[in-house]
Amino acid sequence: MNGVLSTGLLSLIGACSGAIAGSFLNVVIHRVPRLIDAHGGNVSGAQYAAGLSWPGSHCAKCDHPLRWYDNIPLLSYLLLRGRCRFCGERYGVRYLAVEVLAAVAFACCLVTLGLTAKAFLAALFLAGLVALTIIDIEEQLLPDIVLGPLFVLGIAFQFLPGGSIGAAALGAGAGYGALWLIREAYRLYAGVEGMGYGDVKFAGVLGVWLGGAALPAMFAVAFVTGLAVSVPLMLMGRIGRQVAIPFGPFLAFAGMLLFTLPGIGPAIEMLFAF
């Protein structure tokens, strides 16, 4: 019984913390690309801090400031049915989805790892993957302001019990180097860039968290899922052959899969070895 209560309490703490984090992630997802555009891609840390903290939460349609009870993670969205109280504009399901995903990620990390620094860092990593996925889908952008902190948090994670700085260093170098070579080879062959530089840096960040040994499986999952999604869309005429498809979401999916289920890495490598 005590174990059940403990699991339930950890789940509740994780879900509440994750929902709050998800609310902030929505701010990051909405404002960071706009800050980058407003400053021509050269945004200082102070400008990020100011842009993310002010103005307060408001409706993007009518600019009316939200009251505190309209800004409670998950609950306010459900009570208002995803609409602004003042103008009735729909917020979109993305706001709810991000908060739910963050809540689930935090709950799972706390239940699995307990109230530890490792659980906290792991939850932040998964939340960061959610933010990068949404930003890349909407803007085709993997901003350094998200990648940089994830890199630092990955180094910190590897200093904790069970981690390996050597594996992190190998993973960072191999992840970055492998995707850089693929990017440059395609650019030389086709004469155009087929992959953004943000994807290259993202692979390096994932290498820090996963270690070098997991990278073959990570790239296999990312490329196969990318083809599994893009080819049917092309065949159905939903997208053209020249339309750029963001690769970040597939890297994020592969990273999340191998981070949460590290034991499947060897099985994936064996599957693609044939």
Residues 195 and 274 in one domain: yes
Q: Which of 115, 135, 154 is the last residue of a domain?
A: 115
Per the rule left: phi > 0, alpha: psi between -120 and 50, beta: everything else, 81 is left
3 state SS for 59-100: CCCCCCECCHHHCCCCHHHHHCCCECCCCCCECCHHHHHHHH
pLDDT for 59 equals: 72
Asked, for residue 123, whether it belongs to a domain, the answer is no
Q: Which regions of the chain are under pLDDT 50?
A: 1-2
Q: Does the predicted TM-score (pTM) go above 0.95?
A: no
Full residue range of the structural domain in which residue 269 is found: 143-274
- Residue the block writes with tokens 């930003």: 135
Within this chain, do residues 94 and 217 fall inside the same structural domain, yes or no?
no
Looking at residue 240, its pLDDT comes to 58
How far is CA 268 from each of CA 12, 88, 174, 222, rounded to the nearest angstrom? 33, 47, 19, 12
Number of domains in the chain: 2
197-226, pLDDT tens digit by residue? 899 999 999 999 999 999 999 999 999 998
